[in-house]
Amino acid sequence: MISNPYARAEASGLASWDAACARIVAAGRRMDKRGWVPATAGNISVRLADGRIAITRSGGHKGFLEASGVMEVTLGGDPVVPGDRPSAETLLHTQLYAHDPAIGAVLHGHSVAATVLSALTPDGDITFSGYEVQKVFAGQTTHDADVVLKLFDNDQDIARLARVVAPHLDTMPAGYLIRGHGVYVWGADMFQALARLEGLEFLLACQLERRTLLAAEAHA
């Protein structure tokens, strides 16, 4: 069983500023090592003990992230310090925190598997079935069930995209995927959010590999 490195801090409630920065920095470096946040892609956030949100600044490389690359925003997505520039997709983070008080961390990544599979799925969603790792998601107790990953079309108007996502927030245990872009995953704390992200990326990689093998067999 994998131990939760944040267990002691999380047992006392939501994150302090220093704890939030440490968790975000560690998550960014882990995501970078897996190839999920190339260049300046992706964003990471944690709910603070006072209800505000710690989130990565715009334009920073997550593999070289330091505490100075993290800033505070309100639950409405506004910078706490005037002049600070949050991620362009901050509203998609704060939407989740406002919707569910139990959410403590949100992760957004841009993996090859997520980008390619979403481009190969112009209509509908992606369904996973028969994978043991499906049990990492909320409400999933067996591999013998379908887990649907909701897909949304990419939109540079984040407020409009958030309105499209909103009606589905209660029915996306595996998070969601923006076509040609990347995934959003969340959890009660950073440990759970990372576990779900890793589970989802594993499933996406498996689906992509299966498509590749099936295509090769069809042309053999």
| Range with lowest mean pLDDT among 5-9, 128-132, 135-139, 192-196 | 5-9
One-letter amino acid for residue 82 of the chain: P
Domain ranges of the chain: 7-218
4-60 tens-digit pLDDT: 544 444 444 467 999 999 999 999 999 999 999 999 999 999 999 999 999 999 889
> What pLDDT was estimated at residue 212?
83
Q: Are 162 and 92 in contact (CB under 8 A)?
A: yes
pLDDT at 1: 36
Predicted confidence band of residue 187 (pLDDT cuts 50, 70, 90): very high
| Cα distance between residue 218 and residue 220, in whole Å | 6
pLDDT of 87 strictly over 90? no
**Spatial distance between the Cα atoms of 175 and 92, rounded to a whole number of angstroms:** 12
With 80 as the cut, is the pLDDT of residue 170 above it?
Answer: yes
- Give me Rg for the CA atoms of the chain: 17
Question: 7-218: which CATH architecture?
Answer: 3-Layer(aba) Sandwich (3.40)
Task: Determine the Cα–Cα distance for residues 82 and 217; give it in Å rounded to an integer.
Answer: 57
What pLDDT is stored for residue 160 in this prediction?
A: 96
Residue 143 vs residue 61, higher pLDDT:
61
Mean pLDDT to the nearest integer, 168-181: 94
**Are residues 184 and 106 in contact, defined by beta-carbon separation less than 8 angstroms?**
yes
Contact 185, 114 (CB under 8 A): no
CA 176 from centroid of its chain's CA atoms: 8
Model confidence at 210: pLDDT above 80:
yes
CA 216 to chain centre: 31
Asked whether the predicted pLDDT for residue 3 surpasses 80, the reply is no
pLDDT, position 220: 67
> Over 50: is that where the pLDDT of 196 sits?
yes
Please state whether beta strands 43-47 and 105-109 pair in parallel, antiparallel, or not at all (unpaired): antiparallel
